[in-house]
Amino acid sequence: MVIILFGPPGAGKGTQAHLLAQRLGLPRIVTGDLFREAITRGDALGAQVKPYLERGELVPDDLTIALVVARLQRADCVAGVVLDGFPRTVAQAQWFDHELKKHRRAVDCVVNLVVGDDEVFHRLAGRMICSACQRTYHVTAMRPEKIGVCDQCGGKLIQRADDSSAAIPVRLRAYREQTEPVLTYYRGKQCVVNVDGEASPEVVQQRILDSLPFALMAASSS
Ligand code: AMP
């Protein structure tokens, strides 16, 4: 089962992918986290991708695809995956289809989280993440119990470099110009469901479960 969480930055893909993967017993592939981990490790990939992430631009397709290839080869992906942040260009989507086809598989569902521009900006500008476990908070909508400290692991809360007011417009433009065409690509394959993403995480998760094709839900409960 291959499910893609789709939507602009700040649409809630991370939260929803986490809940859905737990529910379906599948691993998540989160390209943004894989890049951030490489930057924290300070390895060669991290050095290559850091400037792109800081500016809010997309990492080139060849680097992104190589990273996803390596991750998909791990044994935990055999039963399927929930993808968050990939594919983000039509070239990535075409490559991914080609890889899946080799294993007689295909993308089962693209969940398109629909969130308006004003809400996206508000969410990103107030977002804080835990520097240790990556859990997300918001300065007004989802405050931690103790300011600046993660409720889950006690890690320090920070603002992502690409949640700065300079980088947010660049990321939104990259989404409109490079990533939205991916939706048209998958619409042609009739596997897209639109889900209103402007509600609490629990409500949005229920909307996603209600809109997944029946065959997927039956497979996940058997
Ligand atoms: P995210 O956490 O999903 O917002 O991703 C953070 C950043 O990682 C993006 O702004 C891009 O710089 C990079 N990134 C994540 N996924 C991809 C992708 N599929 N293709 C290119 N760049 C990506």
Question: The domain that contains 194 carries what CATH number?
Answer: 3.40.50.300
- Separation between Cα atoms, residue 217 and residue 214, nearest integer Å: 5
Minimum mean pLDDT range among 139-143, 191-195, 217-221: 217-221
Q: What is the pLDDT of residue 80?
A: 92
Q: Where are the beta strands (DSSP E) in 28-89?
A: 28-30, 81-84
- Separation between Cα atoms, residue 61 and residue 63, nearest integer Å: 6
Q: Please identify which residue in the block is written with the tokens 């986490």.
A: 18
Residue 213 binned pLDDT confidence (cut-offs 50, 70, 90): confident
Range of the domain at 166: 2-27+74-221
Residues designated as active site: 13, 88, 127, 160, 171
- 36 touches ligand 1 (CB under 6 Å): no
Residue 89 lies in a domain: yes
* Residue 218 scores a pLDDT above 70: no
pLDDT tens digits, 44-69 = 999 999 999 999 999 999 999 999 98
Residue 60 lies in a domain: no
* Residue 215 scores a pLDDT above 80: no
Pocket test for ligand 1, best of 59, 67, 159, 168 (most atoms within 8 A of CB): 59
Residue 121 lies in a domain: yes
- 35 touches ligand 1 (CB under 6 Å): yes
Which residue type, as a one-letter code, is found at position 121? F
How many domains, in total, are found in the chain? 1
* Residue 134 scores a pLDDT above 90: no
Q: What is the pLDDT of residue 214?
A: 66
